Amino acid sequence: LYVAGPRRIALRDISEDDKKGETTVKLLDTSEPRSQFSSNAQREDARRAVTNYASKLKVNDVKVTVLSKTFEGKTSMSERWYGTKYNIKPIKQATLVRWSSPPLASGMGISLPRPNLFIPSESGLRLKGKTKAVAEKNKNMNGKTIDARKKTFEERMVAATPPALIRDDGRWTVHFKQDDVFGKPKAFVILQLSSKNTYDTPKKAVLGQLYEACVTDRLEEYAYDATLADLSYNVQVLPRGVRL
């Protein structure tokens, strides 16, 4: 089962044609993903399709491929196009029985990963005027709404609206610009702890670099879930202080 996109699911059928070097592929749903990108209906369709095919992945239908140089000289068949040597043999019935009744994952020291606390919920998202912003962005000089992909070169070269300065009180400088195309929340935060002592001696400079390496190493496991949530951070000890 290959999942090539939000609404592109293909099932590869193993048939007699495969022995001739041919592959049969059925496209199950090839509607354009742009139309319903990330919609609830689309996700439900994909969920049902994947669940349906996953239910058909049974032990009796499995095919295991093993590649090893130790099989050299022990094969009796040859692939048509590249001459690859191979053998086909059935899986032992005792192995199939053992696979059909596997032990509990907990008894094998396997468990599901803990919930990722860095993944935000959509309940707290607030978009202001998204439809209006997209419509304004896709209007040409005559005031008519056009497809963004059909814009002229001059229309594409119009500078984007810069972020607005919403706070600047000497301690914080905050700019804001909403993603008016996809509505994706995104933030960049730079914290500067100013100090003139981080690089005033060679010893302090070396200790600062050691501290930077230790912090990164200490947070590596903790920050792994953050990287899965498309978050990143960086700690730097600079001549002007510590920057996060």
**Residue 234, both tokens:** 């960086």
In a domain, 32, yes or no: yes
Q: Tell me the whole-structure pTM to 2 decimals.
A: 0.46
Closest CA to 26 of 51, 6, 53: 53
How is residue 6 written in tokens? 């939000």
- 31 pLDDT above the threshold of 90: no
Those residues whose C-beta lies under 8 Å from the C-beta of residue 84, and which sit 6 or more positions away, are: 78
* 79 in any annotated domain: yes
Tokens of 177: 């610009």
Greater confidence, 8 or 94? 94
Residue 78 within any structural domain of the chain: yes
Would residue 24 count as lying in a domain?
yes
pLDDT tier at 42, thresholds 50, 70, 90: low
Q: How far apart are CA 7 and CA 43, in angstroms?
A: 9
d(CA 131, CA 145): 12
Number of structural domains found in the chain? 1
- Give yes or no for residue 90 having a pLDDT over 70: yes
pLDDT of residue 25: 39
The per-residue pLDDT for range 198-222, each reduced to its tens digit, is 999 999 999 999 999 999 999 999 9
- pLDDT tens-place string over residues 228-237: 988 999 999 9
Q: Is the confidence at residue 160, as pLDDT, over 60?
A: yes
Question: Residue 135: its pLDDT value, please?
Answer: 52
pLDDT, tens only, 162-196: 889 999 998 888 998 887 777 777 888 899 899 98
Rounded to whole angstroms, the Cα distance separating 159 from 218 reads: 43
**Distance (Å) of CA 2 to CA 28, 29, 31, 56, 177:** 11, 12, 16, 14, 38
Residue 181 lies in a domain: no
210 vs 55: which has the higher pLDDT = 210
Residue 38 has pLDDT above 80, yes or no: no
Within-domain flag for 104: yes
The vertex-243 CA angle with 237 and 244, nearest 5°, equals 120
pLDDT attached to residue 81:
92
User: Between residues 125 and 46, which one has the greater pLDDT?
Assistant: 46
Contact 203, 210 (CB under 8 A): no
pLDDT band at 22 (very low <50, low <70, confident <90, very high): very low
**Is residue 87 in a domain?**
yes
CA distance 155 to 137: 10
The first and second tokens of residue 62, run together, are: 């499995």
- Asked, for residue 19, whether it belongs to a domain, the answer is yes
Q: What pLDDT is stored for residue 129 in this prediction?
A: 62
What residues are paired with 78 via a beta bridge?
85
Q: What is the reported pLDDT for 27?
A: 41
Give residue 6's domain range. 2-108
> Tens of pLDDT along 101-150?
888 888 888 888 888 988 877 676 666 665 444 555 555 445 555 555 66
Q: Between 202 and 61, name the one with better pLDDT.
A: 202
